[in-house]
Amino acid sequence: SAAGVGSAEQQARVEAIRQQQAAKSKEKQAIHKRLDEDRRDAAWMKSGVAPPAPAGAAAGSEAAGSEAGPSSSSSSSAGQHTSSVLRVRCEDGTVLRHTFNADEPLAAAAALVAATRTEADGPFALLTPFPRCEYATEAQLQTTLRQAQLVPRGTLLVLSDRSRGVVHQAASAQSAQREQLQGHLAHLQQMVGELQAAQGPGEDAGYEQLLAWEESMGGAVAAGLSAAELRRLRARTVTAEDEANPEASPCCICCCEFVAGDHLMALGCGHEFHHECVSRWLRAKRVCPMCKAAVGGTGAMAPPLAEGGGADE
Domains in the chain: ranges and CATH: 76-168 (3.10.20.90), 198-284 (3.30.40.10)
Look up residue 64 and give its DSSP letter.
H
Beta bridge partners of 3: none
Sign of CA dihedral 134, 139, 145, 149: negative
The pLDDT of residue 50 is 44
Q: Per-residue pLDDT for the chain (313 aa), expressed as one digit of tens each?
A: 555 556 777 778 778 777 877 777 776 676 666 666 656 655 554 554 444 444 443 333 333 333 334 433 434 455 588 999 999 988 888 889 999 999 999 999 999 999 999 988 899 999 987 777 899 999 999 999 999 989 988 889 998 887 765 444 444 555 555 555 555 555 555 555 555 454 555 555 555 555 555 555 545 444 678 878 888 888 999 998 888 887 778 888 887 888 888 889 989 898 999 888 888 888 878 889 888 888 875 443 444 444 334 334 4
Name the strands in the sheet holding 234-237, side by side, starting at the edge strand that comes first in the sequence: 234-237, 263-266, 272-274
Residue-wise DSSP of 69-114: -TTSS-GGGGGG--EEEEEEE-TTS-EEEEEEETTSBHHHHHHHHH
The pLDDT of residue 75 is 45
Longest dimension (CA), the chain: 95
Sign of CA dihedral 115, 120, 124, 129: negative
pTM over 0.75: no
Query: Backbone phi, then psi, for 131, in 5-degree steps?
Result: -70, 150
Alpha-helical segments (H) within 95-200: 106-114, 173-197
For residue 90, give the amino acid letter. Answer: C
Q: Among candidates 69, 74, 83, which has minimal Cα distance to 52?
A: 74
- Coil, strand, or helix at residue 133? strand
Query: Backbone phi, then psi, for 116, in 5-degree steps?
Result: -100, 0
d(CA 123, CA 114): 9
Question: Are 181 and 159 contacting, i.e. CB atoms less than 8 angstroms apart?
Answer: yes
